């Protein structure tokens, strides 16, 4: 049976010189598990946030619960939603909107994080994956077939029992994708680290 997702990063390093030694790429796939059909809906670079430095420092120090454990998936339910009405992601960004027509879901990783390394250290990447077939309880507006997904974040849960100590490592905002509950979504996020 064909895998419902593909983990492949195609990077335009020259366009992102400021982030040469660490970069992330988010991919969202729509899949039909019964038919074995998949379709790439989005490929988008992320912004590693200031709080991401805290996540890395805690992980390097071996602090408990410092690993990436969840994704936040943000959406809007207004049929007239325009991505230009939302502020762009900045490095100091740390919130997901959850008032009015806005909401987000906190989705735990579907598989343990994986790592792919190369002998010349040109493409060492950590990969994180979630599969959304039965969405968790949302924060804010209800999540359903008319929800327009427009933002995602990688999260380290400082408290495994709740979200009160979540830290956003990185965030990506994109042209909205309308969720269709007849299909599952697989989201893969690769974060690449290089050494020169």
pTM for the whole structure: 0.82
pLDDT in tens, 113-155: 888 877 776 667 889 999 998 899 999 999 998 899 999 999 9
Question: Using only C-alpha atoms, what is the Rg of the chain?
Answer: 16
* pLDDT by residue, tens only, the chain of 196 residues: 333 333 333 333 333 333 444 467 888 888 887 788 888 888 888 888 999 889 989 998 999 999 999 999 999 999 999 999 999 998 998 889 999 999 999 999 999 988 887 777 666 788 999 999 889 999 999 999 889 999 999 999 988 888 999 999 999 999 999 998 888 889 999 888 766 6
Query: Distance of alpha carbon 83 from its chain centroid, rounded?
Result: 17
């Amino acid at each position: 049976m064909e895998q419902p997702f593909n983990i492949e990063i195609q990077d335009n390093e020259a366009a992102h010189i400021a982030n040469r030694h660490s970069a992330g790429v988010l991919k969202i796939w729509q899949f039909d598990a019964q038919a074995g059909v998949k379709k790439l809906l989005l490929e988008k670079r992320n912004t590693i946030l200031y709080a991401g430095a805290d996540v890395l420092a805690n992980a390097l120090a071996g602090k408990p619960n410092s690993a990436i454990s969840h994704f936040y998936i943000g959406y809007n339910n207004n049929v007239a939603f325009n991505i230009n009405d939302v502020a762009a992601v900045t490095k100091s960004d740390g919130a997901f909107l959850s008032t009015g027509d806005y909401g987000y879901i906190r989705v735990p990783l579907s598989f343990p994080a994986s790592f792919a390394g190369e002998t010349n250290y040109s493409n060492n990447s950590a990969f994180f994956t979630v599969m959304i077939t039965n969405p968790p309880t949302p924060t804010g507006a209800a999540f359903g077939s008319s929800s327009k997904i427009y933002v995602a974040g990688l999260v380290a849960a400082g408290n495994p029992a709740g979200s009160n100590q979540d830290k956003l490592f990185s965030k990506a905002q994109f042209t909205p994708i309308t969720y269709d509950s007849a299909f599952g979504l697989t989201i893969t996020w690769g974060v690449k680290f290089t050494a020169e």
